[in-house]
Structure 1
Amino acid sequence: MALGVHSEVGKLRTVMVCRPGLAHRRLTPANCGALLFDDVIWVDRAIEDHAYFTTAMRERAIEVLEFGDLLTDVCADRVARDWILDRRIVEEEVGTGMSRELRTWLAEMRPARLAELLVGGVAKAELPFDARGLFGGYLEDSDFVIQPLVNLIFQRDPSAWIYDGVVLSPMFWPARKKEGLLLDAIYHFHPRFSGAANMWWGGDLQQHYGAETLEGGDVMSIGQGVVLMGMGERSSPQAVTQLARRLFAANGARRVIACQLAKMRTSMHLDTIFSFLDIDLVSIYPEIADRIRCTSLYPGDVPGEVRYERHEQTFLQVVAGALGVHTLRVLTTGGDTYAAEREQWDDGNNVLALDRGVVLAYDRNTYTNQKMRDAGVNVIEVPGGELGRGRGGTHCLSCPVERDPVEL
């Protein structure tokens, strides 16, 4: 089967993940907020829990691609290595005083070590040369010359597969903006991906995207050529419109449903308050989902034109209509008011479907998991005490690359 994601609940064939590692060992109480984590994590336990997560998928014959391994393969290619370093080690980022020495040092590394540092970051104290220039003198020994990309663990966001193509995300926060460069290198140079998929949008992350920001947690290919796109804290209407135009021009989708969310960390992405469990069964956090306003985007009569239709219906009614089902079966976050708010915060509504009615979910969300089981869902629990400290569940931890369509 060709690469592509054709539903949210069809059989998952291939998925990309990124295990915790060096980047997370650099998290401290002082820097975790700027790096978008709520707390430091117990890294060794997080590694064990992530291995549990990936093993659960491999046991169901799902191909699991590890980001670090893919990046190591790419860094072994001299052309690809130069391509990355030409874009990552630039004077605008590391100053004029050390850019040449830093690039030379990195270029001579073994592929695995280079891949580790591109994700894990480099502190001034680790440099084998004197950090000259104004920037070098400005930094303390513990400051980063290359920032750690701690959020790459949440592989959902820096790219998203939409039917038979992929989009690279121009991301919202500075802490995440460099992730796309490494994904771009993997999609461009790795033999598993090179030439194997359409690049819908975002292929040149050196471009200035202005107010166009988009993250994969806001993107869901739900089938029938329909794509849901959240617009909240991270993804902007400018980006949604631009991506819709690109999809329509390439016949990559026939309809985009823009879902306007409250701009808050609790609902940073659409998938933090809404997940599919089966074709017609969804998990939602109603306190936020009930306030979503929807607008559908369609191809216009003129190439490049987009037609808009604002909906008075509820979010769930719009989604049901797009799928051609009369109503969706709805499971709300479990427990009383207090428990529901806690479990939404702990990603109770952010679950990954491995197939129809089979999901991976964090073990800590006991009330919500039981409601899913009562509805006939096979819930495979994953330890979530450490992995969730950056506010992401199993849906966030994964980037599906191949997923079957479903018959509606």
Structure 2
Amino acid sequence: MKLSDFDFDLPETLIATRPAVPRTAARLLLAEGPGIEDRQVADLPDILRPGDVLVLNDTKVMPVHLDGARHRDSAQGPVTARIRVNLLEPLPDGRWTALLKPLRKLREGEEIVFAPGFAARFEGVEGDHAILHFDLEGEDFDTALETAGAMPLPPYIAARRAPDAQDMTDYQTVFARQRGAVAAPTASLHFDRALLDRLEAAGVEFVHVTLHVGAGTFLPVKVDDITQHRMHSERGEITAEAAERLNRARAEGRRVIPVGTTALRLIESAANEDGTLAAWQGSTDIFITPGYRFRVTDGLMTNFHLPKSTLMMLVSALMGADTIRNIYRHAIDTGYRFFSYGDSSLLLPETGAGARKVAQRS
């Protein structure tokens, strides 16, 4: 398939720059097979079945957008330059990869100061990224980052407005607990505590997994032949308890529904050929395109994705390319809000992994 197969025209007015308030007031496009129904996220307890399992990504977004300054003496006197930093990923030795602007103003070994007592040394460039070594580590680093940093909003929001204090709440899930992401698992942003309680009372089960979403999630596909695209890698973990609960649900014929493409990619990466899971930890660069056979997934709750993105390919693999084109056409025609702060969808294909397992058993 070609990249152009996943393109569509999206009016800029449908790109959300703030979430719905309250979170559960967001619209929810319910797609069961080819059928489409317009609902709200708040309706989930009435839509899901008792025994359904929602797989939640409990990664916590770090406020990795930093504004700093470097100071240099010159013949004309001290010179100060503003440096914008977006941290990308921690390295095993305590350093960080980062994007710096403007990179050309820095010399190797120079210090960037973000706040009193919080600075980093620029150690050069490796590949496409700068390398920073901070003067703090552990809890001291975490505390300083929480104070000095801002949420790393996606490019399509950051181009329209700067991050602010409200994003510290809006761009974090209510069940976030494992620090490590530089982007949010945005389908999960629609949940609040009251909705989780209502779902639990309705018999819906929650299983937590962790995939630390990286900045690579926003990288565009640059090749027309999608088989030549190199997928970014992200770190994740599934505990033994989470694996056992998912295995039990599948054995009992209950639906496993990841909330977000990050949770889906993680469980599909860890699953054996027969769909069983065990404790798993590592990195995944799984690239799901039409033709992929889902091993665990029976449905997916997800926001509306960018044209020509790997996530458009993933949802096309789950629902079928023609069905997804119809879903997105309906979403655009009826004014659904798109991307990270936008509305959501619940995609339930006619034959999920669990349905196939039950059919094979019978």
Shared fold (TM-score, shorter chain, > 0.5)? no
TM-score (norm 2): 0.30
Higher share in strand: 2
